[in-house]
Amino acid sequence: MDEDEPLPSYEGLAAAFAKAKAEKERDEAQGLRATTGNAAAANKQGEVHFKASHGILIAFFSWILALHALGIYLFTSGFLLTRLVLEHRSHCSVPPIDVAGSYTPGSPDAGCWHPKTFDKAIVIIVDALRYDFTIPFHPTEPEKPRHFHNSIPFLYDTAVKHPNNAFLLPFIADPPTTTLQRLKGLTTGTLPTFLDAGSNFAGTAIDEDNLIEQLHNASKRIVHLGDDTWHALFPGYFESNLTHAYDSFNVWDLHTVDNGVTEHIFPLIHPSNTSQWDVIIGHYLGVDHAGHRYGPEHPAMTAKLNQMDDIFRRMVDQLDDDTLLVVMGDHGMDAKGDHGGESDDEIQAALWMYSKRDRFGRSSPSYNIPPATAKERPVSQIDLVPTLSILLGMPIPFNNLGAPIEEAFIGPKGNDFQNLATVSRLTAAQIHRYQQEYTRGKGLDDTTRATALSLWDTANGAWTSLGGSKRSTHDQLHHISSAFLAYQAETLSICRALWAEFDVPRMLHGVQILALTLLTLGLYARGLDGERAELTPILLTRGIIGTLLGAGLGMGISFAFSQLPREHVVIYTTAVGSIAGISTGFWHIRRRLVSPLPNSIWGWVCVTVTVALSAGFAANSFTIWEDEILLHFLCTFGILGALSSFRQKNSIDRALGCYHSILFVVLTRIASLSRLCREEQMPYCVSTYYASANSSTSATWQLAIPYTVAFLLPNFIRSYYKGTRNFQGSVVTWFDFALRFGLLLSAAYWTLDTADDGDWYPGYGEMLKTTKTIIAQLVFAIALAFGYSTFAWSKPFLNIETKTRGATSSSDQVVADGGTSSITILGYANVHGSRYAFLVTMWFLAITLVQKPMGAGAIGIAWWQIFSLFEIIDTNKLSDTPVGPVVLGLLGSFHFFKTGHQATLSSIQWESAFIPLRTIKYPWSPLVVVLNTFGAQILCAIAVPAIVLWKQPPKKKGLLGDVAKAIGTHILFYAVINLATTMWAGHLRRHLMLYRIFSPRFMTGALVLLTVDVVAIFIALGGARISFLSVGEVFGWTG
């Protein structure tokens, strides 16, 4: 059969094989083989046996996944900060302390606890308005103003020129700096708990006392415009006929939300409409989105800030005398325009208040100029809560911990210390009331707050000694208000420390579960001698029995001792029970156990690398420089591979091994050119992932990368198929047409995206957006829909030749020989490897699409390295060692960094959710973000079975067990890293760098482990089933 002849169909191939065999048999009239009937029955039995073994392996690894999830959950729930949420509400008629002077409290119209200052308020949130955006930039040579400098001068100018009408102050956010968390802080006045950070994707209603609820209960009409996060937090509180909410997650859209807010807010401010509302909340998102999309250092940011400046000028023109105007940022943004963490740039927002009538003042003339940096005279974001409550005559929300802002209460002359002392006392008294309730609810003793209580007594004593006399001096009153504020500050710091409490038993039990699971997996992956597919059923059965017994025991204990936390007890006993169960399973097959410690140099290299990596996570510098350390490990592996290849006896193996090892090192080096630096790596690191260090868009030249990938890479990978003569059948169509076309479309997607970003075709933005979304969906369809149907239905990538005796043929192709003719199967030697590796190429296409241009290059290199690794493993005969799965783990971890990620919250490329979709759709949007973030680890995990299948003939026994062993080893690598980062995070929980470095690394490790578990089980092991069935169909089952 020559190359031009039409390729046989799936059945056709089997038929051709059978026909050729039959012809050969007839020609040679040997007739000594088993009868066809018996053979068919044995074959069927082999297939059934395979399917059952495979199903058991899936169940076994799923069970490991469940244990990982339980361990991680238990640790995380003890590790992340917890706070008791009090249900109490403040009431207008019940001030926290007797009200000074002749004022009668209880009327929202006059002011609940204190006479109100304003009737109405317009509160504008400019999302991510960083403090340094709002103050003039005074360049020191050789610095030049950036795009974000001097673009919104109005706030500063009014504060300087009209200090009685306006003030501007740094406004410090409590991390995590995500909008949802900030809005909670800005309305309740309390501190965030870390667990809440994860719920940013789906906000839930606030169940604590808050300013919006207080306004609503006082029958104030609240209008909301802009970011729809508010509706998730405060469902039903807004005037539905006037309110307009907009989707907040489309970070690539800079204008829809802003234009919507502006369009609706000005008619409402118009004098003819002011009677329809009491408070307007306008939430602009353009600045934040410009940051996410372009970074602060971009003309789009200048334009956005100019637009905001213009809006505020117009608002001030229209404002009436009794309305307060507040403008603030909910957080800042880092150098790339992202936020979420606790770096200075992320927490430093701006606060500006404005009143037409003279209301505000400064206690010192030097305060007339707003602070030059956010380090001077900052106010906390929670300070807005008591300030706004008192100014609008509302009670202070029950859980508030903030303090009143001096500028708002000191009076136009800057000397109304009576007023300042009164509001400081009210605020402190509410905090005192809250503290008493909290202490009662949590069962705390008074020793933790002894200092705070004595500060409270001092302040009260000073107040009482004055007896409210009218002739108190400014100094005395100033002293009193400082004393109350000292109590507030002390309580705040106590709460910060208190809510940083960890539930150590939970954390320890979580670590124990992870450690025991690790031992189980280690023994399974490296300590079993024999066919894993045959040993797994007994382990699984015992494991399930243990799980059930453990769960029952936990239930029993938690009912018997009701003071124990039930969920904690049940999870712990279930996990320990199931591991105890599997241990009896291991005991049962103890003759098959061998030492899991390696017995070769290569094995020890793997152990050393993994242990070194794990130990290193104890040091912040190691964690910060993880990307560079992985680079060195991978290069070392390549060099060892080359040295080992030199020692091979077979000259072809020697040459191939050396070539692929050197290629592996070179590719690692090229990939290392792509970097995204984390803040702590500065100034010793240059980011190249985006156009510049201050940008979050790709440079135009980087578009060449996806095109290069599309034109060259399929040829390179094709050569691995050609090398073993497996470039046959549907794989030809795939490489030469579908894959290449998909890659070109993906490059086209990023070209359109750049065109859209750079506004190359003004007026066609909408068209570009629609086109690129369609293109992205098309690429996914090619990669996964077309890819999977090809993968599922195609025959092994082989070709069959029948030759008469005498024709020369190379030794690795002949399967049946003897007599006068021979059947030659081209690609026989690598039938398993080539068939399975198709899956890697499909997922490569899907992952490439969701990476930015630089990331497409990195993933392309990872793909190429994976195929080189197959060859290195094969030529050095390492497929039975842990080398392949461990190096794939290193490779996945390395390319995680090379695709523009870091173990930080702010490096998550949320906008990738919008590549194939224009709005958030569950579950797809989070899945796309996962595919973007962990694309490298996912691709490497899918490649694991190919390590043992590469260049394996169809009839080899025990291959499925070898696949299980490789997958087990690969998961083991990530499980060690996860256990190490978890233990270090727990151990270093009081470390200064916990939330900057150790905690994000622990969360990354946990998420990677769970992702790799899922991918290894359902994509890799699941894919192996399809591939084995296809090979078995043609060559039969060996049982």
Residue closer to Zn ion by CB (options 294, 894) is: 294
Separation between Cα atoms, residue 47 and residue 518, nearest integer Å = 32
Side by side, which strands form the sheet with 814-816? Answer: 799-804, 821-826, 814-816
CB 269 → Zn ion: shortest distance, Å? Answer: 24
Can residue 288 be called a binding residue for Zn ion (CB under 5 A)?
Answer: yes
CA nearest to 834, candidates 802, 885, 794, 865: 794
Separation between Cα atoms, residue 341 and residue 999, nearest integer Å = 11
Residue closer to Zn ion by CB (options 186, 975) is: 186
Can residue 127 be called a binding residue for Zn ion (CB under 5 A)?
Answer: yes
Listed ranges 322-330, 467-475, 565-573, 762-770: which one lies at the site for Zn ion (CB under 5 A): 322-330
Cα separation values, 137 from 131, 133, 153, Å = 11, 9, 10
Can residue 174 be called a binding residue for Zn ion (CB under 5 A)?
Answer: no
Separation between Cα atoms, residue 245 and residue 228, nearest integer Å = 5
Identity (one letter) of the amino acid at 945? P
CB 331 → Zn ion: shortest distance, Å? Answer: 5
Can residue 841 be called a binding residue for Zn ion (CB under 5 A)?
Answer: no
Q: Where are the beta strands (DSSP E) in 374-483?
A: 379-380
Listed ranges 58-66, 178-186, 313-321, 870-878: which one lies at the site for Zn ion (CB under 5 A): 178-186
CB 194 → Zn ion: shortest distance, Å? Answer: 18
Residue closer to Zn ion by CB (options 209, 330) is: 330
Listed ranges 111-119, 121-129, 517-525, 672-680: which one lies at the site for Zn ion (CB under 5 A): 121-129
Alpha helices per DSSP H over 443-473: 450-466
678-683-684-687 Cα dihedral, nearest 10 degrees: 50
Cis peptide before 853 (omega within 30 of 0): no
CB 211 → Zn ion: shortest distance, Å? Answer: 18
Can residue 1013 be called a binding residue for Zn ion (CB under 5 A)?
Answer: no
Separation between Cα atoms, residue 699 and residue 697, nearest integer Å = 7
Residue closer to Zn ion by CB (options 181, 558) is: 181
Listed ranges 155-163, 281-289, 590-598, 746-754: which one lies at the site for Zn ion (CB under 5 A): 281-289
Residue closer to Zn ion by CB (options 114, 283) is: 283
b/e code 12-29 from CB counts within 10 Å (16+ = b): ebbebbeebbeebeeeee
CB 430 → Zn ion: shortest distance, Å? Answer: 27
Query: Strand, helix or coil at 671?
Result: helix
Listed ranges 44-52, 326-334, 598-606, 680-688: which one lies at the site for Zn ion (CB under 5 A): 326-334
CB 179 → Zn ion: shortest distance, Å? Answer: 3
CB 178 → Zn ion: shortest distance, Å? Answer: 7
Separation between Cα atoms, residue 344 and residue 287, nearest integer Å = 18
CA nearest to 148, candidates 332, 327, 283, 320: 332
Listed ranges 171-179, 611-619, 720-728, 1007-1015: which one lies at the site for Zn ion (CB under 5 A): 171-179
Listed ranges 24-32, 325-333, 413-421, 474-482: which one lies at the site for Zn ion (CB under 5 A): 325-333
Binding mask 523-542 for Zn ion (x = CB under 5 A): --------------------
Can residue 911 be called a binding residue for Zn ion (CB under 5 A)?
Answer: no
Residue closer to Zn ion by CB (options 330, 531) is: 330
Residue 877 has which token pair? Answer: 């005969």
Interaction residues for Zn ion, span 50-109 (CB under 5 A): none
Separation between Cα atoms, residue 820 and residue 795, nearest integer Å = 28
Q: How many residues does the chain have?
A: 1039
Residue closer to Zn ion by CB (options 130, 718) is: 130
Residue closer to Zn ion by CB (options 330, 490) is: 330
Listed ranges 151-159, 330-338, 820-828, 843-851: which one lies at the site for Zn ion (CB under 5 A): 330-338
Query: By the 8 A CB rule, do 370 and 156 touch?
Result: yes
Residue closer to Zn ion by CB (options 503, 911) is: 911
Interaction residues for Zn ion, span 707-746 (CB under 5 A): none
Listed ranges 259-267, 329-337, 408-416, 614-622: which one lies at the site for Zn ion (CB under 5 A): 329-337
Separation between Cα atoms, residue 1016 and residue 1029, nearest integer Å = 18
Listed ranges 208-216, 282-290, 509-517, 835-843: which one lies at the site for Zn ion (CB under 5 A): 282-290
CB 292 → Zn ion: shortest distance, Å? Answer: 6
Can residue 969 be called a binding residue for Zn ion (CB under 5 A)?
Answer: no
CB 249 → Zn ion: shortest distance, Å? Answer: 9
Residue closer to Zn ion by CB (options 285, 943) is: 285
CA nearest to 768, candidates 750, 742, 741: 750
CB 1026 → Zn ion: shortest distance, Å? Answer: 42
CB 316 → Zn ion: shortest distance, Å? Answer: 24
Query: Strand, helix or coil at 722?
Result: helix
Can residue 179 be called a binding residue for Zn ion (CB under 5 A)?
Answer: yes
CB 702 → Zn ion: shortest distance, Å? Answer: 24
Residue 652 has which token pair? Answer: 């072809």
Residue closer to Zn ion by CB (options 250, 435) is: 250
CB 1030 → Zn ion: shortest distance, Å? Answer: 47
In order, the DSSP letters of 589-619 are TGGGB---S--SHHHHHHHHHHHHHHHHTTS
CA nearest to 327, candidates 369, 415, 265: 265
Can residue 330 be called a binding residue for Zn ion (CB under 5 A)?
Answer: yes
Size, binding site for Zn ion by CB under 5 A? 4
Name the residue whose CB lies closest to Zn ion. 179
CB 372 → Zn ion: shortest distance, Å? Answer: 25
Query: By the 8 A CB rule, do 327 and 334 touch?
Result: no
CB 280 → Zn ion: shortest distance, Å? Answer: 19
Residue closer to Zn ion by CB (options 127, 346) is: 127
Residue closer to Zn ion by CB (options 191, 408) is: 191
Query: By the 8 A CB rule, do 698 and 691 touch?
Result: yes
Residue closer to Zn ion by CB (options 81, 290) is: 290
Residue closer to Zn ion by CB (options 288, 757) is: 288
733-736-741-743 Cα dihedral, nearest 10 degrees: 120
Separation between Cα atoms, residue 961 and residue 953, nearest integer Å = 15
Listed ranges 119-127, 129-137, 681-689, 812-820: which one lies at the site for Zn ion (CB under 5 A): 119-127
CB 798 → Zn ion: shortest distance, Å? Answer: 53
Q: Are strands 348-355 and 323-328 parallel, antiparallel or unpaired?
A: antiparallel
Can residue 696 be called a binding residue for Zn ion (CB under 5 A)?
Answer: no
CB 330 → Zn ion: shortest distance, Å? Answer: 4
Separation between Cα atoms, residue 730 and residue 380, nearest integer Å = 63
CB 153 → Zn ion: shortest distance, Å? Answer: 23
The DSSP call for residue 696 is S
Q: Radius of gyration (Cα) for the chain, nearest Å?
A: 34
**How many Cα atoms are found within 13 Å in the side-chain-facing hemisphere of 977?**
26
Residue closer to Zn ion by CB (options 147, 832) is: 147
Query: By the 8 A CB rule, do 190 and 384 touch?
Result: no
Residue closer to Zn ion by CB (options 179, 481) is: 179
Interaction residues for Zn ion, span 227-246 (CB under 5 A): none
Residue closer to Zn ion by CB (options 76, 696) is: 696
Query: Strand, helix or coil at 1001?
Result: helix
Run of H or E including 170: strand 166-172
Which residue reads 């899918």 in tokens?
942
Query: By the 8 A CB rule, do 848 and 748 touch?
Result: no
Separation between Cα atoms, residue 985 and residue 991, nearest integer Å = 9
Identity (one letter) of the amino acid at 878? L
Binding footprint of Zn ion on the chain (CB under 5 A): 127, 179, 288, 330
